[in-house]
Amino acid sequence: MTITSPTPARYIVQPAEPAALRIERLNVWYGKHQAIRDVSFTIPARRITAIIGPSGCGKSTLLRAINRMHDLTRDARVEGSIYRGEIDLYAPTTDPVWVRRHIGMIFQKPNPFPKSIFENVAFGLRVNGYRGDIAARVEEALRKAALWDEVKDKLQQNALALSGGQQQRLCIARAIALEPDILLMDEPCSALDPVTTMRIEDLMIELAHTYTIVIVTHNMQQASRVSHYTAFLLAGEDRTGELIEYAPTREIFLRPRDRRTEDYITGRIG
């Protein structure tokens, strides 16, 4: 593992594992407000990478840049590159629909469609004109999301009748059904109780055998429990949206190199 330090204030580790994504000189603006500033780092494949930092530092903005969701936001502008293998997701020739098929997103608040459990998972397959066995793919996705046993006898029931934790696992199944290789999770447990949160965390750890996971979290225990690598973004004045430190999670929590990282993880800055 090598440490590069583009400026004396940044400690960015290059993971030893194969790369799932290489983010290069990423900048994001909303109108005149710059939310992400010259961020470069590599996200390892089949690992969990946590993005942490104070409120407003740009965590969600960075996550959304990874599957080109800012294309859908008025006034948002992205510069820089994100490479998945040789393909720059921001190249003019790259289709954003293709990007979102390979990079799924799970949101803070579970957001199932007001349809049956089955149709929620089948939805993306139908939209994409999938010609194979939809029922088999739905079952497989629900199994991978650790929900099959709870719902197999009520697949036609409205998804909105499920508990919050079940709804979140359904949203994970909906994303998985499209066979992405990367899953982005934006505070996926913040609307859930502690027991349900543990269940989703266990699921994330299980899914990381197959998928690359990038998670935004405010919960330091969660970042330290589930993630292999952690990226710390800074907020405040003209430094908002800068990546200050990126390293294996153990190092970030046990031996942070930057005082600002230490202040944040120990709760001295919010």
Binding residues (CB under 6 A) for ligand ATP: these are: 30, 33, 35, 53, 55-61, 73
CB of 40 to ligand ATP, least distance (A): 18
Output helix, strand, coil percentages for the chain, rounded to the nearest 5: 35, 30, 35
Query: Considering beta carbons, is residue 145 or 265 the nearer one to ligand ATP?
Result: 265
Query: Considering beta carbons, is residue 53 or 110 the nearer one to ligand ATP?
Result: 53
Query: Considering beta carbons, is residue 57 or 265 the nearer one to ligand ATP?
Result: 57
b (16+ CB within 10 A) / e for 230-252: bbbbbbeeeebbbbbbbbbbebb
Phi, psi of 175 (to 5 degrees): -70, -45
Rounded to whole angstroms, the Cα distance separating 255 from 132 reads: 50
Evaluated on CA atoms 190, 197, 267, 187, the torsion sign reads negative
Query: Considering beta carbons, is residue 65 or 182 the nearer one to ligand ATP?
Result: 65
CB of 186 to ligand ATP, least distance (A): 8
CB of 198 to ligand ATP, least distance (A): 22
CB of 227 to ligand ATP, least distance (A): 16
Query: Considering beta carbons, is residue 64 or 225 the nearer one to ligand ATP?
Result: 64
User: Which residue from 188, 186, 212 is spatially nearest to 23, judged by alpha carbons?
Assistant: 212
CB of 58 to ligand ATP, least distance (A): 4
Query: Considering beta carbons, is residue 60 or 249 the nearer one to ligand ATP?
Result: 60
CB of 66 to ligand ATP, least distance (A): 12
CB of 256 to ligand ATP, least distance (A): 19
CB of 240 to ligand ATP, least distance (A): 7
Evaluated on CA atoms 89, 95, 101, 107, the torsion sign reads positive
Q: The tokens of 152 are what?
A: 């197999």
DSSP state letter for 144: H
CA 214-216-220 angle, 5° bins = 115
Rounded to whole angstroms, the Cα distance separating 1 from 42 reads: 12
Query: Considering beta carbons, is residue 36 or 147 the nearer one to ligand ATP?
Result: 36
Query: Considering beta carbons, is residue 42 or 60 the nearer one to ligand ATP?
Result: 60
Alpha helices in the chain (DSSP H): 59-66, 96-102, 117-127, 134-144, 148-151, 164-176, 194-207, 220-226, 249-254, 259-265
CB distance 115 to 138 below 8 Å: no
DSSP state letter for 240: T
